[in-house]
């Protein structure tokens, strides 16, 4: 593995980042043919390349060893605090730069050292009841996810018939994790009804429609209320469990972490579900064979390698000048590492046999090192159930478009589809009419319900999203 070269090495001579001719990150190839995009960069620049991210010059690290080295940060070079960004301190970052809200977020992703450790302990302890599959909370969550998945499929079939056409992103993969957000916050169900407003606002934010800004303000205010309430009256939810682990967490800190959680669960987990289904349907990366062999985790692993939902990670800034690849990165320059590009580096792909039953676990879709993902097990469980239910309930699922015509989101960070159009054929019986297990506090799925009966959370949400008439 090629290490970052210590400072004693002579620095390569080149103009500063701001003066290098940087290629725009968000071009057509980046969206439609990322492998081509990254390979062109690699051929021209090697393992690190200057790119233009929506008007701001950034170093994009595309080599696998370099990405891993930066993520592990064994020498303590890399800061995640926005104050470490030279241009930000000097006030030269445009005030309307679309990524500014991300890097200015007040959450554990953008803290260093003891600040980061404290919040990470709250996360790992707080998530334990939901990630340790022997715990009652985790079991109840799994049951609920199964129920949400089945009901979403019921509604899809009610609207579209036994065989038909559906957008599995809008009708399945994206709404499903929203219910999980509600459950983790302790507002979703299980306590006598759902906080539809919060989940619908989250949907509006993720949908980035005209009312997204207002929805975001309401969402944050509602989350602040929930977090403040948990400091005085804890429940059996994630914020309460985080508070129990780190009692001096303030309501503001908790709100920042929960805001991050809504993105990670509501958006990124839905993206992994979609990307996994897509890889299975396309069949080019072995994900379909894994699925046929009953190896769902393996299918998820392959999808995470081919299209990591967090394609590029924002941002890291070196505390001192550091050489990476052919360039000398100056202290305070913005650096994005790219798991998506690293997974295409021959240094990574060269190590795996194309016909191996198990793919490499050394992929970087969950990051690595001191900021590695703490919700991996939860996200994997939700994705596994979602994918499993889909392929059990449908006898036939195929893409409604050739793979190269699928539309991908234009995002510097996320690799996800805008829509996942499929032709489907339902297996076996028509939509189930199973009752929700007693004691869940959630009304039963209500295909046969009379007008007087309340609609379930799934149906209420879908109705507001205009994805269901019933
Ligand atoms: C498929 C879904 C998910 C993917 C692909 C994913 C991936 C990642 C990645 C790549 C990072 C590191 C970012 C960086 O190093 O710059 C990260 C951080 C994190 N993830 Fe996840 N994540 C997912 C879901 C979740 C969920 C569901 C949770 C918890 C509810 C979670 C909790 C966290 C936390 C707390 C961090 C911040 C760690 C830190 O900065 O110290 N993630 N995730």
Distance CA 287, CA 359 (A): 10
Average pLDDT, the chain: 89
445 band by pLDDT with thresholds 50, 70 and 90? very low
pLDDT top residue among 391 and 453: 391
Domain ranges of the chain: 1-104+311-364
What's the rounded mean pLDDT across residues 102-116?
A: 94
pLDDT top residue among 387 and 428: 387
255: tokens are 């709100």
Span from the CA of 52 to the centroid of ligand 1 (angstroms): 25
Distances in whole angstroms, Cα of residue 321 to Cα of each of 23, 38, 113: 23, 25, 20
Close Cβ partners of 80 (under 8 Å, ≥ 6 residues apart): 109, 110, 111, 112, 116, 315, 316, 317, 371
Q: Which CATH class is domain 1-104+311-364?
A: alpha beta
353 band by pLDDT with thresholds 50, 70 and 90? low
Burial bucket for residue 220 (CB in 10 Å: 0-12, 13-18, 19+) = middle
Distance CA 120, CA 177 (A): 22
**Cβ atoms 226, 237 nearer than 8 A:** no
8 band by pLDDT with thresholds 50, 70 and 90? low
Q: Give yes or no for residue 264 CB within 6 A of ligand 1.
A: yes
Residue whose CA lies nearest to ligand 1 atom number 37: 109
Looking from the CA of residue 71, the nearest atom of ligand 1 is: 15
pLDDT top residue among 36 and 21: 36
Task: Please choose, from the candidates 417, 339, 404, the residue with its C-alpha nearest in 3D space to the C-alpha of residue 29.
Answer: 404
Residue whose CA lies nearest to ligand 1 atom number 21: 373
Q: Give yes or no for residue 269 CB within 6 A of ligand 1.
A: yes
Burial bucket for residue 43 (CB in 10 Å: 0-12, 13-18, 19+) = exposed
Span from the CA of 382 to the centroid of ligand 1 (angstroms): 14
Q: Cα torsion at 271, 274, 277, 280 (round to 10°)? A: -60
What pLDDT score does 233 carry?
94
Report whether pLDDT(27) > 50: yes
| Pocket perturbation via mutation, ligand 1, pick of 375, 378, 412, 416 by most ligand atoms within 8 A of CB | 375
% of residues, the chain, pLDDT over 70: 88
Residue whose CA lies nearest to ligand 1 atom number 39: 371
Span from the CA of 329 to the centroid of ligand 1 (angstroms): 26
189 band by pLDDT with thresholds 50, 70 and 90? low
Span from the CA of 319 to the centroid of ligand 1 (angstroms): 24
Q: Give yes or no for residue 157 CB within 6 A of ligand 1.
A: no
Q: Give yes or no for residue 265 CB within 6 A of ligand 1.
A: yes
What's the rounded mean pLDDT across residues 72-84?
A: 97
Report whether pLDDT(29) > 70: yes
Report whether pLDDT(97) > 80: yes
% of residues, the chain, pLDDT over 90: 74
pLDDT top residue among 449 and 343: 343
What pLDDT score does 446 carry?
43
Q: Give yes or no for residue 278 CB within 6 A of ligand 1.
A: no
Q: Give yes or no for residue 258 CB within 6 A of ligand 1.
A: no
């Amino acid at each position: 593995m090629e290490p970052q070269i210590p400072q004693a090495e002579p620095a390569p001579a080149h103009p500063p980042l701001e003066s290098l001719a940087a290629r725009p990150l968000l071009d057509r190839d980046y969206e439609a043919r990322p492998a081509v995009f990254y390979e062109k960069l690699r051929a021209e620049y090697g393992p690190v390349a200057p790119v233009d991210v929506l008007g701001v010059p950034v170093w994009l690290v595309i080599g696998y060893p370099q990405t891993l080295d930066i993520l592990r940060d064994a020498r303590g070079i890399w800061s995640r605090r926005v104050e470490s960004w030279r241009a930000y301190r000097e006030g030269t970052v445009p005030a309307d730069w679309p990524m500014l809200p991300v890097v200015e977020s007040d959450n554990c992703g953008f803290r260093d050292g003891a600040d980061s450790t404290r919040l990470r302990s709250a996360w790992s302890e707080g998530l334990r009841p939901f990630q340790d599959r022997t715990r009652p909370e985790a079991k109840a969550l799994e049951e609920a996810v199964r129920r949400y998945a089945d009901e979403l499929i019921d509604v899809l079939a009610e609207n579209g018939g036994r065989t038909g056409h559906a957008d599995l992103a809008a009708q399945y993969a994206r709404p499903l994790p929203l219910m999980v957000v509600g459950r983790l916050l302790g507002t979703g169900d299980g306590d006598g009804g759902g906080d539809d407003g919060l989940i619908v606002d989250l949907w509006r934010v993720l949908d980035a429609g005209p009312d997204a800004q207002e929805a975001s303000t309401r969402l944050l205010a509602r989350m602040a209320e929930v977090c403040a309430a948990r400091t005085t009256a804890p429940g059996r939810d994630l914020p309460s469990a985080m508070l129990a682990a780190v009692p001096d967490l303030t309501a503001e800190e908790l709100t920042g972490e929960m805001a991050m959680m809504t993105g990670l669960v509501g958006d990124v987990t839905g993206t992994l579900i979609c990307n996994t289904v897509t890889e299975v349907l396309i069949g080019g990366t072995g994900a379909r064979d894994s699925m046929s062999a009953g190896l769902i985790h393996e299918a998820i692993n392959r999808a995470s390698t081919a299209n990591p939902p967090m394609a590029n990670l924002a941002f890291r800034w070196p505390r001192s000048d550091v050489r990476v690849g052919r360039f000398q990165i100056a202290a305070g320059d913005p650096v994005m590492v790219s798991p998506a590009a690293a997974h295409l580096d021959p240094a990574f792909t060269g190590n795996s046999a194309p016909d191996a039953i198990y793919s490499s676990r050394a992929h970087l879709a969950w990051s690595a090192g001191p900021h590695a993902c703490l919700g991996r097990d939860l996200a994997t469980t939700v994705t596994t159930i979602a994918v499993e239910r889909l392929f059990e309930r449908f006898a036939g699922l195929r893409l409604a478009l050739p793979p190269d015509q699928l539309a991908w989101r234009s995002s510097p960070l996320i690799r996800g589809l805008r829509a996942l159009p499929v032709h489907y054929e339902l297996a076996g019986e028509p939509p189930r009419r199973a009752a929700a297990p007693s004691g869940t506090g959630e009304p039963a799925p209500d295909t046969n319900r009379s007008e007087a009966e309340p609609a379930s959370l799934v149906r209420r949400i879908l109705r507001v999203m205009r994805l269901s008439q019933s």
